[in-house]
A = this chain, B = another copy of it.
């Protein structure tokens, strides 16, 4: 199935997008904005100019600033900094009437707290925050909601990997004595995972202290976590990842309805693409406030006119 859009639809005003942060996600977000038919890159917001020759090459022709005000009119800010920076960063943009999309990745209470806080800021300043727009939380969450609507009783298992978890890797890298880190997620079935954490230590750092600090963090505390020292993280890095989601449930009074979703993807490429698609929903369709992905109609994430989308996609 392919959707061939009415060429007139994108005569509507292009959305101006700022990419905030230029790590893994930020780089791929720039590519996703450039591939979107109804968006233009206003620029990249980061603390400093290019830090390497490779980065300078990637950023050639892109406006790089330290404050979003320097980019002129911006519709949406794609927040690509670390998860724990989001609660502080997002209101800065929302208060200026700039919509935000983040991929905050800690499930549960803190995610609800962030959504509630940004909902208030957005409603006050007429802006939209899409919270936790990645793949899990994100598109997986949307799928879990859909499966629950299709078979309300039953259990959904989300099995991750094998693959590198960016959130967990950044968390491990943040511990004292760690120069670089990579956290691999290993599925052991029925939604249970092992975390294999590879750390490149600073000179003189103690592996057992590092290991204890990582295991005590809320990111890792609930999983079987094993920490290993390696000479180089760069040598083992691969950004492929995967998911297998399963639900066996009941529709009405009918048992044994079976559902399965699998994907094998480049992790930052998918995360940033989802963020860009959610930016479209934020700027073109949603009312002020904050939303998680299952609270957004998927068609609102797509470019194109409604008639063409309904005729070709539904």
Q: Which of A129-152 contact B (CB under 8 A)?
A: 132, 135, 137, 139, 141-146, 148-152
Contact (A145, B313) CB under 8 Å given A152-B35, A265-B258, A295-B297: yes
B151 with A273: CB separation less than 8 A: yes
Q: Which residues of B contact A146 (CB under 8 A)?
A: 139, 142-143, 298, 301
Does A251 sit within 8 A of B, measured CB to CB? yes
Provide the residues of chain B in CB contact with A260, threshold 8 Å: 261-263
Tell me whether A183 is interfacial, beta carbon within 8 Å.
no
A224-250 vs B, Cβ < 8 Å mask (1 yes, 0 no): 000000000000000000000000001
User: How long is the Cα–Cα vector from A158 to B2 in the complex, in angstroms?
Assistant: 11
The interface-forming segment of A9-17, A79-87, A106-114, A209-217 is A106-114
Number of copies: 2
Interface contact A314-B262, CB-CB below 8 Å: no
Contact (A28, B254) CB under 8 Å given A310-B112, A313-B144: yes
Bound CA–CA A295/B300 (angstroms): 7
Q: Which residues of B contact A310 (CB under 8 A)?
A: 111-112, 115, 292, 295
Task: Let me know if B253 and A257 touch, CB within 8 A.
Answer: no
**Set of chain B residues within 8 Å of A266, measured between Cβ atoms:** 251, 254, 257
Is A294 an interface position by the 8 A CB rule? yes
Q: Judging by beta carbons under 8 Å apart, are A263 and B257 in contact?
A: yes
Please report which residues of chain A, range 262-314, place their CB below 8 angstroms from some CB of chain B when the two chains form the complex: 262-266, 269-270, 272-274, 276-278, 292-303, 307, 309-311, 313-314
Give A291's nearest chain B residue, CB to CB.
B297
- Of chain B, the residue at the smallest CB distance from A3 is B148
Cβ of B253 and Cβ of A1 under 8 Å apart?
Answer: no
Are B148 and A302 touching (Cβ within 8 A)? yes
Find out whether the CB atom of A273 lies under 8 angstroms from the CB atom of B252: yes
Q: Is the CB of B257 within 8 A of A35?
A: no
Residues of B within 8 A of A155 (CB): 1-2
Complex contacts, A276 vs chain B, CB 8 Å: 252
A126 surroundings in chain B (CB, below 8 A) = none
What residue in chain B is nearest A132 (Cβ atoms)?
B314
Residues on B with beta carbons closer than 8 Å to the beta carbon of A112 = 307, 310-311
User: Is the Cβ of A258 less than 8 Å from the Cβ of B263?
Assistant: yes
Write 6 A-B pairs (CB below 8 A) sorted by A numbering. A31-B252, A32-B251, A111-B311, A132-B314, A251-B266, A258-B262
Question: Hey, which bits of chain A sit against chain B, CB under 8 A?
Answer: 1-3, 28-29, 31-32, 34-36, 107-109, 111-112, 115, 132, 135, 137, 139, 141-146, 148-153, 155-158, 191, 250-254, 257-266, 269-270, 272-274, 276-278, 292-303, 307, 309-311, 313-314
Closest 4 CB pairs of A and B: A254-B269, A32-B252, A251-B273, A145-B298
